[in-house]
Amino acid sequence: MMAPFFKYGLFGDDVSLVVAFITGIGFGFFLERGGFNSAKKLAAQFYFTDLTVFKVMFTAIITAMVGLYYLSVIGFLDLSLVYLTPTFLLPQVVGGLLLGFGFVIGGYCPGTSCVAVSTGRIDAMVYLGGTMFGILVFGEVFPLVSNFYVSTPMGQITLPQITGLPYGLLVFLVVLMALGGFVGAEWVERKMASKKAGAAL
C-alpha cells in the first residue's frame, strides 16, 4: 500500500493546497469541456432534450469507481483511508430534493456555476450570490434545524456493507446500469430531436 499519498505522509498540509489548486484546474477544465458552463445545456437534462448531465456524471462515476476498485485489489490504494462522508439519511434526502429544485430553477449546481462564472455567464454570478445567501440563511437558522441535521445517523456506510454484496459485483452492476442508461439516453435524445423536427414542419 502506498496510496492515498497524503495519508501516507508523502507531503504536508501546505503542499496539499497546491494539489488542491491543480486538482481544481482539472475539475474545472473537464466540466467546461463537457458543456457544464451553460445553464441551458444543464437544464435540458430535465426536459429530456440533452442528457449530457447524466452521461458525463455517470461516465465520471464509473471511471473513478472502476479505478478505485482495481487500485485497491492490486494493493496500491487503501480504500479505508479514503474519506467517506457519514450518512444522515433524512436530512440528505430532504437536502437532495431542495438541491434538485434549485438545479432546474437556478440552472446550475455550485461546481458548474464556477466554470460558468469564469466563462462570463452573468446568470451564474447571480446564482452564486444566491448560493452564498442560502448558506448564510442556513447558518443563521442552524440552531433551529440542528436536531434534524443530525437525525437518522447511519455512520460511514457503503452500499457493499449495507447490501452484503461483494464490492466487485456492485462495481460490475453499476457499470452495467450506466451502460444501459447511456444506450437509453441516446435513444431518448434521438426521439426528442425527431419530435422537435416534426413539430417544426
Residues 124-143 close enough to bind another protein by CB under 8 A: 124, 126-139, 142-143
- 97: contact with another protein by CB under 8 A: yes
Residues 104-123 close enough to bind another protein by CB under 8 A: 104-123
- Our CB check for another protein shows the closer of 19 and 194 to be 19
165 CB-side CA count, 13 A: 12
* Count of residues interacting with another protein (CB under 8 A): 122
Residues 13-42 close enough to bind another protein by CB under 8 A: 16-35, 37-41
| Contacts with 75 (C-beta within 8 Å, 6 or more apart), sequence order | 1
**Which of 73, 95, 177, 183 touches another protein by CB under 8 A?**
95
> What is the C-alpha separation between 146 and 140, in angstroms, rounded?
11
In SS3 terms, 6-33 reads as CCCCCCCHHHHHHHHHHHHHHHHHHHHH
- 1: contact with another protein by CB under 8 A: no
- 84: contact with another protein by CB under 8 A: yes
**Which of 1, 73, 96, 177 touches another protein by CB under 8 A?**
96
**Which of 4, 175, 181, 188 touches another protein by CB under 8 A?**
4
Instruction: Write down the least CB distance from residue 201 to another protein, Å.
Output: 18
Number of CB atoms found within 10 A of residue 106's CB:
22
**Residue closest to 149 by CA, chosen among 78, 92, 197:** 92
**Residue closest to 57 by CA, chosen among 111, 129, 127, 16:** 111
